[in-house]
Amino acid sequence: MANTYLLEVKHKNPDFWSICDLLSAGHCRTAFAEAFRLMYALPSNMATLPPMPRDGDQWSTLHSWAMPTRSFLEFVMFSRMFTSSLLDSQRLNPENYSRCLLGSSKIEKRQCYCRILEVLVNVWAYHSARKMVYIDPISGLLEEQHPIQKRIGSMWVTHFNSTLLKEMDEDWAEEAGDDDHPLSSSRGSMWLWPLTGEVYCNLIFDKEHAEKERARMEKSSRDKEKLLKRQKHGYKQRPLGG
Torsion sign (Cα): 182, 183, 188, 192: negative
> CA nearest 133: which of 59, 183, 47?
59
> CA nearest 201: which of 162, 235, 236, 166?
166
Q: What per-residue confidence (pLDDT) applies to 163?
A: 92
Q: What per-residue confidence (pLDDT) applies to 72?
A: 92
Burial category of 78 from C-beta neighbours within 10 Å (exposed 0-12, middle 13-18, buried 19 and up): buried
What DSSP assignment string belongs to 22-84?
HHTTT-HHHHHHHHHHHHHT--TTS--S------S-B---TT-EE--HHHHHHHHHHHHHHHH
Q: Mean pLDDT over all residues of the chain?
A: 81
Q: Burial letters for 2-24: b for 16+ Cβ neighbours within 10 Å, e otherwise?
A: ebbbbeebebeebebbebbbebb
Give the bridge partners for 135, in sequence order.
Answer: 142
Note the pLDDT tens digit of each residue in 60-72. 887 788 899 999 9
The low-confidence residues of the chain, meaning pLDDT below 70, are 1-2, 4-14, 94-98, 179-189, 199-210, 233-242
Q: What per-residue confidence (pLDDT) applies to 79?
A: 92
Q: Tell me phi and psi for residue 31, to 5 degrees.
A: -65, -40
Alpha-carbon distance of 143 to 6, in angstroms, equals: 10
Q: Where are the domains of the chain?
A: 3-200, 201-232
Alpha-carbon distance of 39 to 83, in angstroms, equals: 9
State the Cα torsion 54-55-57-60 to the nearest 10°: -30
Query: What is the end-to-end Cα distance of the chain in Å, rounded?
Result: 75
In whole angstroms, what separates CA 25 from the centre of its chain? Answer: 23
**pLDDT exceeding 90 applies to what percent of the chain?**
31
Q: What per-residue confidence (pLDDT) applies to 14?
A: 65
> CA nearest 4: which of 111, 160, 87, 124?
124
